[in-house]
Amino acid sequence: MSNVTLPVDDLHRNVPPYSHNPSAWSQRIPICLLAFVAAVISSHLALFQWGLIETTWDPVFGDGTNDVLKSDTAKRMYGILGIHDAALGVLAYLGDAVLGLAGSPRRWQYRPWLVILFGIDVIPLGIVSVVLVLCQAFVVGSWCFLCLVTAAISLILVYWAWDEVRASLTYLWIVWRQNRSKRLLWDAFWGNRSDALEHAAETLLSRETT
């Protein structure tokens, strides 16, 4: 195993094909802040679904938000999931924020498992948000303003998070291609260090940026 400690500057190197480091704090902090905003919005919607407030704030569609949140579709989802969809959104967005804050500016290499877990939380949430918007249009027949806002945030989060997920997956692919070793691939996934894994990371970092 390699015990080499990288200089701080190396932690911030750009990761091809990007001209930036997708794990940099400047990339992740906006994701966390936006996810927290979405969690606050979802909390407001969840309070209504729980019956703790009498109505929701909707400056565009009036009672549309109330109709969507109390619709038969929402009730069926609650019956299937055992939790209101807005409350589930709160948990998912808070998960985005927490996972976004964890790890160093080179976590694409040192914590691939964390980056992939982050992607698993962010990307399906974006897909679900789009599905729920389609349900508003074609099933419920009413619109929820704050739901549209959180759906837009979800898609932005997917767009911002994808480059880091791609960097980690590319790194793991290079590890496999160079070594054809399941054990090394497993070590890379958990962020272990060795000369072979450092070589794979350098192979990625040495590529041309777009």
Using the predicted structure, report yes or no on whether residue 2 has a pLDDT greater than 80. Answer: no
Question: How much of the chain exceeds pLDDT 70, in percent?
Answer: 95
* Whole-number Å distance between alpha carbons of 185 and 179: 8
Q: Which residue shows structure tokens 């969809």?
A: 85
* Stretch 78-86: mean pLDDT: 89
Assign 109 a pLDDT band (cuts: 50, 70, 90): very high
Checking if the pLDDT of 124 tops 70, the result is: yes
What is the structure's pLDDT at 8? 52
3-state SS, one letter per residue, for 7-55? CHHHHHCCCCCCCCCCCCHHHHHHHHHHHHHHHHHHHHHHHHHCCCCCC
**CB-based contact 30:38 (threshold 8 Å):** no
How many other C-beta atoms lie within 10 A of the C-beta of residue 1?
Answer: 9
- At 1 the pLDDT is 45
How many distinct helices (H) and strands (E) make up the chain? 9, 0
Domains and CATH numbers, the chain: 22-161 (1.20.1440.130)
Average pLDDT over residues 130-142: 82
Identify residue 4 by its one-letter amino acid code.
V
